[in-house]
Structure 1
Amino acid sequence: MSTPAAVSVIIPCLHDEAVLERLLGQLRQAAQDDGGQPLQLIVVDAARSERCRATCLANGALWSAAQPCRGEQLRQGAALAEHEILWFLHADAELDHQPLAALVQAIASGAAGGYFAFRFSGTPGWQGRLLERLVSWRNRIGVPYGDQGLFARRDAYFAVGQHAPWPLFEEVPLVEGLREYGDFRRIERGLQVSPRRWQRDGWWRRSLRNRLLALGFVLGVAPQRLARLYAGRPRAAASSAEGRPSDVRK
């Protein structure tokens, strides 16, 4: 019987300890349910928090301090990865069904990388379900973002240049590169996104603002400037995962 491919999970963090602890527990359970799937957990902490470090120690995860830039955090985590499959997750992601088995199977069947379909957790109602369909359509012609659990073969990830060292839209050149490199696979089930940010800001207000940021990026506005524009909004004082620039764009 062949040994399953090993996976390094890379999680950028900034004051996300509460949701991070849940995710790390889910990942450990998923590996156990999948027959002892080899798994390396890497948390790259931009807050350099002792609480985050303790959470990682208690859950068998490698903790690494970093500067607060999502793209740089992801690159730093990838440099620490030891396994042949890299899986990038936001700290507030929620696992559903058997995502580890699904992504390992995708890579084993020839995919260079991929992403999970955008699904909200819980019961977000008709607005959330409609937004899921709209994101699904956009993914076919555009870029799936980081909260959709991007994954890649290690060699493919470094061959196409990794994440860009930007605080926002850092995954765009990576996804475009992986699509040119080989099979970029969509997995229908396995990951869920919390709807709380949309419920807090308003479903369509948040979505419109995110699309305007994406339009600015397409028109050539620097990601650093777009991140500052987002951070300048009135509710940006929250330092949790809910208010981080890289969590926008849906």
Structure 2
Amino acid sequence: MTPPTAVSVVIPCFHDEASLERLLGQLQLAEQDDGQLLQIIVVDAARSERCRMLCRDHQALWLPAEPCRGVQLRQGAALAEHEILWFLHADAELDGQPLSDLCRAVADGAAGGYFSFRFSGQPGWQGRLLERLVDWRNQIGVPYGDQGLFFRRSAYFAVGQHAPWPLFEEVPLVEALREYGDFRRIDRGLRVSPRRWQRDGWWRRCLRNRLLALGFALGVAPQRLARLYAAPRRGH
């Protein structure tokens, strides 16, 4: 089967212009190198003029929105035109040929998938250990949005899209996709910025994230958890 060669990329943004500029440049290069046709949609919750100008300069569609990531992702998906939907965080970094790999996965029958969790740069032993722990967690749990979730368009809308929540918006989507069809991992292609872990402390942030996940599993509202996630941290 010939792999589909058109991908709609949806990027939620909120005061992430510096990271976004790098990602948009990488996507343009990937489009040229891999031969895929890209539609890039940036959904900007800050309604920033700088973000709008960046999108104009990189031939991306700029869409203003309210600050709720799940709603932003749904708004971007509603404007997507291509067979494959790829959801990226603004601080993601491309590595290798992710476009070719995800198109090949969909052509091979995957309803969707994600990339292995890998940090950019040199995060040290803490980062490498955390990468292995996340790989293990993904086998029994849900890969989150920073792992570059992608979906066949028909499968994404068939199972209900992202939840309109500010946090854990991908959980019901991924769980439904795993019931719907083949949900595949791609080993290489995306890097996650380690800046939040380095800022907050590697294990402090991990513990905080796990406590939030536990709260979600116990039925705490995502809106309340998002307020805790965004709460100022002592000493920062």
Q: Indicate the TM-score class for this superposition, using the shorter chain for normalisation.
A: over 0.9
Taking the aligned partners of 1:12 and 1:200, their CA distance within structure 2 comes to 22
1:25 corresponds to which letter in structure 2? G
Other-structure match for 1:44 = 43
Give the structure 1 partner of residue 128 of structure 2: 129
Give the structure 2 partner of residue 64 of structure 1.
63
Tell me the TM-score normalised to structure 1 length.
Answer: 0.92
CA distance in 1, matches of 2:3, 2:105: 16
Larger CA deviation: 165-174 vs 194-203: 194-203
**Residues 1:110 and 2:129 are matched in the alignment:** no
Superposed displacement of residue 230, structure 1: 1.7
User: Quick check: 1:4–1:38 contact (8 Å CA) kept in 2?
Assistant: no
Instruction: Kindly provide the CA deviation profile for residues 101-145 of structure 1, in whole angstroms up to 9, marking residues without a partner as x.
Output: 000000000000000000001111111000000000000000000
The aligned residue for residue 248 of structure 1 is none
Report 1:129-208 matches (<5 A).
129-208=128-207
The letter of the residue matching 2:195 is R
> CA offset at residue 196 of structure 1?
1.3
What is the alpha-carbon distance in structure 2 between the residues aligned to residue 97 and residue 110 of structure 1? Answer: 22
CA 1:131–1:12: 2 relative to 1, 3 Å = same
1:64-103 mapped onto 2 (5 Å cutoff): 64-103=63-102
> CA, structure 1 residues 82+222, in 2 after alignment: closer, same or farther (shift >3 Å)?
same
1:155 aligned counterpart, secondary structure: helix
**SS of equivalent to 1:7:** strand
Contact 1:13–1:43, Cα closer than 8 Å, also in 2: yes
Once the 2 structures are TM-superposed, how far is the Cα of residue 157 of structure 1 from its aligned partner?
0.2
**Counterpart amino acid of residue 11 in structure 2:** I
Residue in structure 2 matched with residue 16 of structure 1 by the alignment: 16
The answer to whether structure 1 residue 214 and structure 2 residue 213 are counterparts is: yes
TM-aligned CA distance change 1:2 to 1:138, over 3 Å: closer
Distance in 1 between residues matched to 2:131 and 2:208, nearest whole Å: 17
1:20 and 1:60 map into 2 onto residues whose CA distance is: 13
Instruction: Measure, in 2, the Cα distance between the counterparts of 1:108 and 1:4.
Output: 7
- TM-aligned CA distance change 1:218 to 1:62, over 3 Å: same
Gaps of 5+ in 1: 238-250
Q: CA deviation at 1:3?
A: 7.5
Whether the aligned pair in 2 keeps the contact of 1:217 and 1:226 (CA below 8 Å) is: yes
**TM-score of the pair, normalised by structure 2:** 0.97
CA distance in 1, matches of 2:102, 2:50: 30
Count of residue pairs brought into register by the alignment? 236
In 1, Cα distance between equivalents of 2:215 and 2:139: 20
Shift of 1:235: 6.0
Provide the identity percentage.
Answer: 81
CA contact (8 A) 2:4 2:107 kept: no
